[in-house]
Amino acid sequence: MSVPASFLDELRERTSITAIVGRRVKLIRQGRRMVGLCPFHNEKSPSFGVNEERGFYHCFGCGVHGDALDFLREQDGLSFIEAVRQLAADAGMTVPEESPEAHARREKAAGLHEVLEAAAAWFESQLKGEAGGRARDYLSGRGVGQASIARFRLGLAPGRRRALAEALAARNITEEQMVEAGLIARPEGGGEAFDRFRDRLIFPITDRQGRVIAFGGRALGEARAKYLNSPETPLFHKGRALYNLAGAREAVRAAGTVLVAEGYMDVIALSQAGFAHAVAPLGTAVTEEQIELLWRMAPEPIICLDGDQAGLNAAVRTAERALPLLKPGHSLRFAILPEGQDPDDLIRAGGPPAMQAVLDAALPFAELLWRKATGDRDLDTPERRAALRQELFQLAGSIRDATVQGYYQEEFRRRLSEAFDWRRQSDRRDRGGQGDYRRGAERPRPRPGLGPTRMPETGARREVQLLATLLTHPELIERYLEELAEIEFERPELDRLRVGIIDIASFCPGLDSQKLKSQLAVGGHDTIAKRLLGGELGAVEWFAMAEAHLDDAERGWKHVLARHRRDGLLAELRVAEAELAENMTDETLGRFLAVKRRLEAAEGSEAELEGFGRASGREERP
Cα separation of 94 and 614, whole Å? Answer: 68
- Confidence band of 449 (pLDDT split at 50, 70, 90): very low
Quick one: residue 190, left, alpha or beta (phi over 0 = left, psi -120 to 50 = alpha)? left
Among 3-17, 233-247, 372-386, 572-586, whose mean pLDDT is lowest? Answer: 572-586
Query: In a 3-state reduction of DSSP, which class is residue 32?
Result: coil
Q: Which pLDDT tens digit goes with each residue over 418-443?
A: 777 655 555 544 544 433 322 333 33
Amino acid at 317: R
> Which are the contacts of 160, defined by CB distance < 8 A and separation ≥ 6?
195, 198
Q: Sign of torsion, CA 355 361 366 367?
A: negative
In this prediction, residue 340 carries a pLDDT of: 83
Length of the chain: 622
pLDDT beyond 50 at 451:
no
Using a pLDDT cut of 90, give the percent of the chain over it: 44
The candidate with the shortest Cα–Cα distance to 83, out of 148, 32, 142, 8, is 8
How are beta strands 65-66 and 56-59 bridged, if at all? antiparallel
In this prediction, residue 594 carries a pLDDT of: 80
In this prediction, residue 475 carries a pLDDT of: 92
- Better-scored residue on pLDDT, 161 or 79: 161
In this prediction, residue 250 carries a pLDDT of: 86
In this prediction, residue 52 carries a pLDDT of: 84
**What does the pLDDT average to over 539-547?**
88
| Degrees to nearest 5, angle at CA 287 with 285 and 289 | 160
- Better-scored residue on pLDDT, 233 or 444: 233
Q: Which pLDDT tens digit goes with each residue over 193-227?
A: 999 999 999 999 999 889 999 999 999 988 788 99
- Which fold does the domain 5-91 belong to in CATH? DNA Primase; Chain A (3.90.580)
- Better-scored residue on pLDDT, 3 or 398: 398
pLDDT beyond 70 at 263:
yes
**What does the pLDDT average to over 580-604?**
75
Cα separation of 48 and 63, whole Å? Answer: 9
Most confident of 81-90, 424-433, 570-579: 81-90
pLDDT beyond 90 at 47:
no
Judge whether 79 and 87 are in contact, CB under 8 Å. Answer: no
Q: Which pLDDT tens digit goes with each residue over 466-492?
A: 999 999 999 999 888 888 887 878 888
Cα separation of 268 and 133, whole Å? Answer: 20
C-alpha distances out from residue 174 to 159, 193, 229, Å? 21, 12, 22
Cα separation of 579 and 569, whole Å? Answer: 15
In this prediction, residue 313 carries a pLDDT of: 80
In this prediction, residue 173 carries a pLDDT of: 95
In this prediction, residue 433 carries a pLDDT of: 43
Query: In a 3-state reduction of DSSP, which class is residue 57?
Result: strand
**What does the pLDDT average to over 561-583?**
80
Cα separation of 83 and 69, whole Å? Answer: 6
Strand pairing partners for 56?
51
In this prediction, residue 518 carries a pLDDT of: 87
In this prediction, residue 297 carries a pLDDT of: 86
CATH architecture label of 100-236 = Alpha-Beta Complex (3.90)
**pTM summary value:** 0.65
In this prediction, residue 98 carries a pLDDT of: 65
Strand order in the sheet with 200-206: 155-157, 200-206, 212-219, 227-229
In this prediction, residue 616 carries a pLDDT of: 66
Cα separation of 620 and 428, whole Å? Answer: 19
- Confidence band of 455 (pLDDT split at 50, 70, 90): very low
- Better-scored residue on pLDDT, 162 or 78: 162
Strand order in the sheet with 28-30: 28-30, 33-36, 48-51, 56-59, 65-66
DSSP for 422-454, written as a single string: HHHHHHHHHTTT-TTSPTTPPPPPPPTT-SS--
Mean pLDDT across the chain: 84
Strand pairing partners for 214?
205
Among 325-329, 499-503, 567-571, whose mean pLDDT is lowest? Answer: 567-571
> Which are the contacts of 589, defined by CB distance < 8 A and separation ≥ 6?
56, 58, 65, 580
Which sequence spans correspond to the domains of the chain?
5-91, 100-236, 249-371, 376-430, 459-606
Amino acid at 575: V
Cα separation of 425 and 261, whole Å? Answer: 42
Quick one: residue 451, left, alpha or beta (phi over 0 = left, psi -120 to 50 = alpha)? beta
Instruction: Indicate the angle between helix axes 80-91 and 68-76, nearest 10 degrees.
Output: 120
CATH architecture label of 249-371 = 3-Layer(aba) Sandwich (3.40)
| Degrees to nearest 5, angle at CA 508 with 496 and 548 | 75
Give the N- to C-terminal CA distance of the chain in Å, as an integer. Answer: 54
Judge whether 180 and 171 are in contact, CB under 8 Å. Answer: no
Amino acid at 407: Y
Judge whether 65 and 597 are in contact, CB under 8 Å. Answer: no
Q: Which pLDDT tens digit goes with each residue over 108-150?
A: 778 899 999 999 999 999 999 999 999 999 999 999 999 999 9
